[in-house]
Structure 1
């Protein structure tokens, strides 16, 4: 075979699955942008300042953890409480990683680290809907990066806009409530079976029951209760038989 007939690898951004991933994520990009803007404004309003807010947006890139930790930072909570809260809020990514392992475990460590940074809730939802069979395929990574291109850009552009325009947004607009609504929208998209609905209900009840705890530790209590009930349901004999 002559060199002129050798097929060159197609760049990821030109792969059909890249375009498909970006297109499917576009449908929810407006909600992601709204959530990002709320988070950007909230970071500045909590007293972080513009430089630290920009750093947090680009490095942390975890809206729910950012919104959960901001009130603790603003109230002067001990750093271990902030870290514990952020860790508990992001425990779901451990589950995402376990679910993604059959697809991406064969990739080099550097690539897996990049995938880990860009992983987001809705990327996970759309990816699993597109590739329900847990085995690697060449088109999976382009699809993932296509979704990431839309998701990350929507989030960061809106978050940075919120950071730089925060002083123009009156505090009485109730952005904290808007952030809660945005989180509820994302959470609702992840409730796909009875077990997840039960866990969400238990978490809600636990958060209300423990509301009087200081430093918003009711969030940690709610997460612990949700994880506990989810594990109980997952290991119930009837559920194990259904899987088989």
Structure 2
């Protein structure tokens, strides 16, 4: 029990910078939904099946102009397709968990939560309760996202007076900080730079299709660098602890 509480506490603590960056984005979404006469209930419910700030912005605009639902669904698939890579990366750590746990954790797996989870699982402290850490970060962020969306919907006109203060930059700064912590060696740096350059070059591709291509390119470069310059024995990661973890 102490191990679980410790992981929950760590998760709630570590997700605070993420919340600071996400709240302005949630407020903005709520305010835009109010302007589009989307309705408070519909606005909040949109976070249940989608729960993706970027796609919710895109989807709100598409729905407002009368786009058919198959097109909206397809756009959502393209924008959120990167989550398949998150699943593949975390599978070794979570395959021993029960179906209920895997469903719950996959639902809350945003970009930021993935980075926190990947970093936590990479920590070689022997904890077998790290899934509680991931759950804690996901729950806190989801609650704060809904709360900020509600605030934006109800008080968007008042909050617009503060938009020139640049609070939206907090989200960008959060992403940069999370990404920078993952560049542990030159192979990771090569993959990250390649993906970043491709994402910038393909920025104009509709529905963030360029981002999907950039992810593929970054993975290819990372795999190539790993083959050409394999890590030395002292660089090899510790044995995966997933086999020893028992779902609770």
TM-score, normalised by the number of residues in structure 1: 0.75
Distance 1:241 1:66, change over 3 A: same
User: 5 Å matches for 1:140-159?
Assistant: 140-159=130-149
Deviation at residue 85 of structure 1 after TM alignment:
2.1
Deviation readout 1:158-196 (Å, 9 max, x if unpaired): 11221233455559968xx976x5664454333643322
Q: Which residue of 1 aligns with 2:51?
A: 61
Whether the 8 Å CA contact 2:33–2:39 is kept in 1: the answer is yes
Whether the 8 Å CA contact 1:118–1:152 is kept in 2: the answer is yes
Structure 2 unaligned spans of 5+: 184-188, 232-248
- Of 133-142 and 148-157, deviating more is 133-142
Q: Give, in whole Å, the separation in 2 of the partners of 1:201 and 1:47.
A: 38
- 3-state DSSP of counterpart to 2:122: coil
Q: Which residue of 2 aligns with 1:105?
A: 95
Deviation at residue 25 of structure 1 after TM alignment:
1.4
Is the aligned partner of 1:226 residue 2:214?
yes
How many matched pairs?
222
Structure 1 unaligned spans of 5+: 1-8, 211-216
Q: Give, in whole Å, the separation in 2 of the partners of 1:44 and 1:90.
A: 24
Whether the 8 Å CA contact 2:94–2:102 is kept in 1: the answer is yes
TM-score, normalised by the number of residues in structure 2: 0.74
Deviation at residue 19 of structure 1 after TM alignment:
0.9
Is the aligned partner of 1:48 residue 2:38?
yes
Whether the 8 Å CA contact 1:102–1:134 is kept in 2: the answer is no
Q: Which residue of 1 aligns with 2:194?
A: 198
